[in-house]
Every structure is written in C-alpha cells, then in structure tokens.
Amino acid sequence: MQRRRALLFIAGALFTGAAAAQAFPSKPITLVAPFAAGSAPDALVRALAQQLARDSGQAVIVDNKPGASSILAAQTVAKAAPDGHTLLVSGNVAFTGNPHTFKQLPYDPVRDFEPITALAKGPMILYAHPGRVPVQGAAGLVEQARRQPGALSFGYTSITSRLPAELLQQATGIRLNGVPYKAGVQALPDLLEGRIELLFTDLGAMPHVKPGRLRALAVADAQRSPLAPEVPTLAEAGIRGVELPYWIAAYAPARTPAAVVQRLHELLTRACQSVGVRQAMATGGTTAFVTPPGGLQRFQAVEAAKWGAVIRAAGIQPE
C-alpha cells in the first residue's frame, strides 16, 4: 500500500510538472538585469528578450536594476514568485564575488535560485599605457614591475576588474598599486592620459589599440578570444593560472518547477543560437557560452571557490 501511494505521488508530481511546462509561459516574462540601460550587457539582454518573445509567444519585459554590485536585481528575483515568469539575467559578480566581499547579502546565491544556463562569456584584457609601460607583452610588464615594485598602478571598477590584477600579482610576485574607480567611464580616460598604467577590462577598449593610444598585452583566459585573436593569453607569456573571464547567466527563483526550468533552458539555448543574439554578443565583446541542464550549478560552484581563494589571498575584507 505504501509503495503504491509513493508511486501515485511520483506519477502525480510528474504529471503536474509536465502540465506546468506545457502551460508555460502563461503570461509575460520579465528579465531582471543589473545592467544600466544602453550598456553592452543590456543590449544582449534585450536581444534575448526579443528572441524569447518570438519563441514563447509571450511578451518579454526587461527590468533594469543597476548598481549595488548586482544586489538589487538578485534580491528582486530571489523574492519573486517561483513560476518561471521572472528571471535574473546577471553577470557572475552576484554569484562569485558578492558572497566573498559582503558580510551580509539579502539573498543566498545558492539557496534562493534555480540555475538555468550560462549564456555568454567574455575575456578580461590587460591594457597598458604605451608611454608609461613601454613593453610589447605581459612578460615585459612583469620585468618592469619587478624593477619598480609598487610604482605601476592599475585601475579597477569592481571586483570583476580587480581580481585579474590581484591574481597576476599572486602568480608572479610583482607588486602593483590598485586605484578604485566608480565606473569604467572614469578609469579608461585616466589610462589613456597615463594617470594610471594598467587596466583589466573588456574588449570595449580595443578601438584604442590600433591607433596606438593603448596596448593590449594579454587575455586573462585559457584561450585567445575569437573577437581579438591577435591578443595572446597570459599563459603564452609564461604566466599561468590567471584565468578569470566574466560570464552572464540566467536564473529563476528557487522552487521553480523542474519542468519549467527545463523549458526555460530550451528557450534560452535556442535564443543564444539566433542571429540577433549572436550579433549582440559580438558587439558587446562576448561569445555564446551555454551550459547543459545542471551545468551552471556545477560551474558556479567551481567559479565561486576560485574567486573566494583569490579574494582571501589578496586580503580583501568583506564590507
């Protein structure tokens, strides 16, 4: 009798999940994003929204909640109804950086979300002012930094742009001087003017390389970027272990039915294959990076552990 009840319960749950997936989506979907309107990541989210609307038959709304290290956006989705109609499309800082840099978060990066899939990833490029750092590659930078301990400064706007520089120091034993900025629109002009010597940022600064205003020394990733194949990796310069790309992923609130999460995975995977979304990725300096069902959860755990180790080694204290 108990076994029969258990089988009936399982069958009922499977039927309910299948019915939920078949009926999904039953109303407009909202993509909550921590990106400022008009930014490159925002353009990607909007391209995703357009494709999702075509494929799902429902309107898809983008709700920008920038600032506060992605906390506002993550908190909003963590508290949303777990029906798959409110999703978080966020950079990795909400899940890999914030747990190690904030003493208290209004959301739990593991318990409050159902990971759906990663969507895109991009490299962090090490840029240098050619007059202040007159070297051709990362190996030359390391030699200069060893001759001038603490004399070279790097700008950073977030934990995402700070950690590659911290990991570079840990990997090579050099000592750099970190200079915090509130936004990249402040850091990049200072790099161009030579007020700072170095900056890890995305491919958005590449237009300054060809005319010689900046030099792209290396990519902090395991492989060269297909969008800038001429820039070598740090490993190619003999500097190993400095691999910290940034990534963007989609999450549903915790307790969203598994069948709905699976349906969302199918829709987002299809969207990432579309021409419009691929174009938005390329324009923003990212490439498609879709994880299989269950893959984002495993990937996030590995990345969070890596970021935590680098943050602790750098002596960065939670705020």
Token output for 307: 């970021």
The class (CATH top level) of 133-237 is alpha beta
pLDDT at 11: 45
pTM of the full predicted structure? 0.89
Peptide bond into 25 cis (omega under 30): yes
Q: What is the pLDDT along the chain (319 residues), one digit of tens a residue?
A: 555 554 444 544 444 555 656 789 999 999 999 999 998 999 999 999 999 999 999 999 999 999 889 999 999 999 999 999 999 999 999 999 999 999 999 999 999 999 999 999 999 999 999 999 999 899 999 999 999 999 999 999 889 999 999 999 999 999 999 999 987 778 999 999 999 999 999 999 999 999 999 999 999 999 999 999 999 999 999 999 999 999 999 999 999 999 999 999 999 999 999 999 999 999 999 999 999 999 999 999 999 999 999 999 999 999 8
Domain residue spans in the chain? 2-123+245-313, 133-237
Reference 156, options 167, 164, 148, 146; nearest CA is 164
Identical fold between 2-123+245-313 and 133-237: yes
**What's the longest Cα–Cα distance across the chain?**
81
Reference 32, options 252, 246, 245; nearest CA is 252
What one-letter code names the amino acid at 313?
Answer: A
pLDDT at 185: 78
Counting every residue, how long is the chain?
319
Range 2-123+245-313: architecture per CATH: 3-Layer(aba) Sandwich (3.40)
pLDDT at 22: 72
pLDDT at 31: 98
Give the span between the Cα atoms of 115 and 122, in whole angstroms: 19
